[in-house]
Amino acid sequence: MAETSSRPVEVGVVLQGGGALGAYECGALNALLELMDEFTAQGRDIVLKVVTGVSIGSINAACVVGAKTRADARAALNALWDDLMLEAPPFWMAAAQRDLAYFGLPGFYAPRPDFWTAPTWTYVYDTRPLLVTLGRHVDFAALNASPTVFVVTAVEVVTGALQPFSNRPLKHLPATKIEPRHVLASGSLPPGFPGPKSTACPIGTAALSTILRSAWPSTRSAPIRRSTGCSSS
């Protein structure tokens, strides 16, 4: 038991897309980061090795890696989701409350105002507000300097090829200076959201796990536990 407790613990996180799942991820990440702090307080050697995500998962991942401490990461996650909370007037019908997000989400997306050009639209919402929100909650200088591998994925519009972007050089993948636009690209799902040079779709845990393995060699022959979206070794 003493030998086991002295072994360093490496943690990897895979974060899927999907708005409601993103809110769940916020809570799960808070619990994980608190548990890591408890381990550290007990004298255990524990490190967040890699975080990879797509769509809303990439936004949560950026908050975690783009923070100087685990406490800062929890604060950034909670502040982000406080900003993304949309409260309908309590006297509205349940159906109206449910559909309120169709009219936009402050700090995330807004309906296009140029409705007279609607016949030529390839997307419905303007996601530029998210760039401002990311700049407010993510320290991109800390993210790019972090020893934790951060990988965000998108799908190239023309070829359909998976395009990962990483803050650290990986096998066959050079390092990229991660900016808000890379995270935005991972969450760009036409025809709702615009696709910039690259656009994303939900690529599945299998693809994200493949990226995790390339970023974390010690997991290549080990199973990835998918039930919580986290893996450790």
Q: Give me the helix-helix angle, 70-83 and 128-137, nearest 10°.
A: 150
**pLDDT score, position 218:** 52
Report whether pLDDT(48) > 60.
Answer: yes
pLDDT in tens, 78-94: 999 999 888 877 787 77
pLDDT-based confidence at 206, cuts 50/70/90?
very low
Both structure tokens of 198: 């690259």
- Work out the number of other CB atoms within 10 angstroms of the CB of residue 205: 16
Report which DSSP code applies to 218: G
C-alpha dihedral sign at 25, 28, 32, 33: positive
Cα distance between residue 14 and residue 80, in whole Å:
19
Report whether pLDDT(201) > 50.
Answer: no
Per DSSP, the residues of 150-195 read EEEEEEETTT--EEEEESS-BTTB-B----HHHHHHHT--TTTS--
Residue 56 in contact with residue 17, Cβ under 8 Å?
A: yes
Q: Mean pLDDT score of the chain, rounded to an integer? A: 81
- Work out the number of other CB atoms within 10 angstroms of the CB of residue 29: 23
Cα distance between residue 145 and residue 28, in whole Å:
25
**pLDDT score, position 122:** 84
Residue 114 in contact with residue 124, Cβ under 8 Å?
A: no
pLDDT in tens, 95-136: 777 788 888 888 999 999 998 998 998 889 988 999 999 999
Which residue in the block uniquely carries the two structure tokens 């995270």? Answer: 183
C-alpha 217 chain-centroid distance: 22
Per DSSP, the residues of 113-130 read S-GGGGGG-S-SEE-HHH
**pLDDT score, position 101:** 82
**pLDDT score, position 204:** 42
Lowest-confidence region among 116-125, 171-180, 191-200: 191-200
The kind and range of the H/E element at 144 are helix 140-145
**pLDDT score, position 209:** 47
SS3 category, 213: helix
Cα distance between residue 76 and residue 30, in whole Å:
10
Higher pLDDT residue, 189 or 44? 44
What is the pTM (predicted TM-score) of this model? 0.82
Report whether pLDDT(68) > 70.
Answer: yes
Q: How far is CA 6 from CA 37, 142, 216, in A?
A: 16, 29, 21
**pLDDT score, position 67:** 95
